Structure 1
Amino acid sequence: MATQTAEQLTKKKCLPCEGGVDPYSPDEAKAQLSNHEGWYLTHEGQRIRKDWKVKNFLAGMDFFQKCAEVAEADGHHPDLHIEGYRNVSVELWTHAIGGLSENDFILAAKIDQLPIELASK
């Protein structure tokens, strides 16, 4: 699989995945992550995750609403986490194959384009 830039990925739409395809290998996932600032592998390389510290709880919920709209439009749904009222995280993987697919990186690139009200240090 060729590594794609975030710009290339944002122009794509997630394709339905019902299984039957191999997940990205750890090396393929790491190579693709080089184009996704702040995202990292979790669950033994089967998922990608990114964390943010937002201004306040409502800023986190606003960001999650924007994530939900993008996810619904592409038919690919992340896990959304909020802890300590300002620490938000998005975790992606393709459930049908138990690992990572192009869809995860497409959605990550689109999420990175969303406005988010970050906490001032």
Structure 2
Amino acid sequence: MLNELSTRKCTPCQGGMPALDRSEAERYLSQAPGWSLADNGSRIERHYSFRDYRSALRFVVDLSQLAEDEGHHPDISFGWGHATVSWQTKKIKGLHENDFIMAAKTDQIAGDGNGSA
């Protein structure tokens, strides 16, 4: 499912839609190695390690460009050799399929998806 998701585009999300319930989120999560549910299942998060600051910054810049292209934006924190990415559909204050699409694409940007680049 994750590889399939990485080929898809985000769909516009309108406020008022229901967020994925925990069992739906866990079903997607089972196909997203390295990602974890956070904030009672209302967002997903992953930590990545990099060899230096420049590599972490390059990842953040590349992910920012993808977010602009897709119209779906993560919360990102980063520093020397690391970055943490969190996805949530803010209009519904929870998870949507788009978040898992973007998780798959985030892993592609990071490299082989194992959290190291």
- Is this a same-fold pair by TM over 0.5? yes
Please identify runs of 4+ aligned residues in structure 1 that moved more than 3 A.
Answer: 115-119
How far apart, CA to CA, are the structure 1 residues paired with 2:2 and 2:101?
A: 8
Contact 2:44–2:86 (8 Å) recurs in 1: yes
How far apart, CA to CA, are the structure 2 residues paired with 1:78 and 1:103?
A: 11
Mark the runs of 5 or more structure 2 residues left unpaired by the alignment.
none
Match of 1:107 in 2: 102
Superposed CA offset, 1:19-62 (max 9, x none): 12110111111111111110000111100001011111111100
Higher alpha-carbon Rg: 1
Q: Paired residues, what number? A: 114
What residue identity is the alignment partner of 1:94?
A: T
TM-score (normalizing by structure 1): 0.87
Mark the runs of 5 or more structure 1 residues left unpaired by the alignment.
none
Match of 1:42 in 2: 38
Q: Does 1:75 align with 2:71?
A: yes
Secondary structure at the aligned position of 1:22 is classed as coil
State the identity %. 36
Match of 1:30 in 2: 26
How far apart, CA to CA, are the structure 1 residues paired with 2:110 and 2:87?
A: 19
